[in-house]
């Protein structure tokens, strides 16, 4: 499937590690030019080096997706570097701590909503505005989660945010379908990423439970999510919009 995204200009948030980095490398393999966005400069720079080694044009932009000015500047930089924007993967997110709803701290709840939900909306808004200005089709993929489809114990803010991403995806897909702008989301299960590593650090029982949570009996590899994102951004998915694609090893089929 080499060349699935040939000559497309893409931006990826949260690309300094995990699913975002894996997606940047799959996009590079498939012929895209990539803007790597993250708050972590060292991680983002490393992703850029790997993408360039894979033969892609890639650039890093530091971006706090919870800030509208940062997001607007990110899209502007993508257009400055590449002349246009063709697709985007809004992946940046945080998990927060694990505790029950009645015990959750307001400040942490607000932070997770700001990054995981408002940040996705700010990205979608800026990207759609650019597609409309270009008068061209475009593809957007948002990172939701299996926790955007079902409840996740002791993760109330994260679960609320990811359910919000699913709804936001559907809303935008309906509004801009006639403009040729496709908006979808992916709903990963448990993925072998630094985010999950941070959740289970010092908690061997939780680590073992997550490892065996789905029928497949293992965590997903970040590249397995990235391959789905690449297809959703490609012309091969031209009739797919408003879709929440589960990439969860049948976790939510139980």
pLDDT tens readout for residues 15-73: 999 999 999 999 999 999 999 999 999 999 999 999 999 999 999 999 999 999 999 99
pLDDT at 145: 96
pLDDT at 193: 84
Tell me how far apart the alpha carbons of residues 192 and 213 are, in angstroms, rounded to a whole number: 13
Catalytic residue among 158, 172, 183, 187: 158
Beta-strand runs (E) in the chain? 9-13, 33-38, 58-62, 87-90, 138-143, 181-188, 244-247
Tell me how far apart the alpha carbons of residues 234 and 86 are, in angstroms, rounded to a whole number: 10
Tell me how far apart the alpha carbons of residues 140 and 128 are, in angstroms, rounded to a whole number: 9
The model's confidence at residue 1, banded by pLDDT at 50, 70 and 90, is very low
pTM for this one? 0.94
Residue 240: both structure tokens together: 């797919």
CB 157 within 8 A of CB 102: no
What are the extents of the domains in the chain?
9-237
Phi, psi of 228 (to 5 degrees): -65, -40
Supply the DSSP symbol for 242: S
Is 158 tagged catalytic?
yes
Element of type H or E holding 82? helix 68-82
CB 141 within 8 A of CB 89: yes
Tell me the per-residue pLDDT of 120-147, one tens digit each, with 9 for 90 and over.
999 999 999 999 999 999 999 999 999 9
What CATH class is the domain 9-237? alpha beta
CB 77 within 8 A of CB 61: yes
The model's confidence at residue 202, banded by pLDDT at 50, 70 and 90, is low
**CA-CA distances (angstroms) from residue 46 to 16, 24, 36?**
7, 11, 10
Could you tell me whether strands 138-143 and 244-247 are parallel, antiparallel, or unpaired per DSSP bridges?
A: unpaired
Q: What would you measure as the largest C-alpha separation in the chain, in angstroms?
A: 52
**Burial, 42: exposed, middle or buried (Cβ in 10 Å; 0-12, 13-18, 19+)?**
exposed
Residue 140: both structure tokens together: 């957007």
Supply the DSSP symbol for 116: I
pLDDT at 207: 63
Mean pLDDT calculated for residue range 213-239: 94
Contacts of 84 (CB under 8 A, 6+ apart): 9, 134, 136
Residue 247: both structure tokens together: 């990439």
Query: What average pLDDT does the structure give for the chain?
Result: 94
3-state DSSP of 160-205: HHHHHHHHHHHHHHHHHHHHCEEEEEEEECCECCHHHHHHHCCCHH
């Amino acid at each position: 499937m080499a060349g699935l995204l040939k000559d497309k200009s893409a931006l990826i948030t949260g690309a300094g590690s995990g699913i975002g980095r894996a997606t940047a490398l799959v996009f590079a393999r498939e012929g895209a030019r990539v803007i790597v966005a993250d708050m972590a400069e060292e991680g983002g720079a490393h992703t850029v080096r790997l993408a360039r080694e894979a033969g892609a044009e890639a650039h890093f932009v530091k971006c706090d997706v919870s800030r509208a000015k940062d997001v607007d500047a990110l899209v502007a930089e993508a257009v400055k570097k590449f002349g246009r924007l063709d697709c985007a993967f809004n992946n940046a997110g945080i998990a927060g701590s694990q505790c029950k709803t009645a015990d959750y701290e307001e400040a942490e709840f607000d932070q997770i909503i700001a990054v995981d939900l408002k940040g996705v909306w700010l990205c979608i808004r800026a990207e759609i505005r650019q597609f409309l200005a270009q008068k061209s089709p475009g593809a957007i993929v948002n990172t939701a989660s299996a926790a955007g489809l079902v409840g996740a114990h002791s993760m109330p803010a994260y679960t609320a945010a990811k359910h919000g991403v699913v709804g936001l995806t559907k809303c935008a897909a309906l509004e801009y379908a006639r403009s040729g702008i496709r908006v979808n989301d992916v709903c990963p299960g448990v993925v072998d990423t630094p985010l999950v590593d941070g959740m289970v650090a010092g908690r061997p029982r939780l680590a073992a439970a997550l490892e065996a949570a789905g029928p497949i009996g293992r965590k997903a590899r970040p590249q397995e999510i990235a391959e789905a994102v690449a297809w959703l951004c490609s012309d091969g998915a031209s009739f797919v919009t408003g879709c929440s694609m589960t990439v969860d090893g049948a976790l939510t089929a139980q």
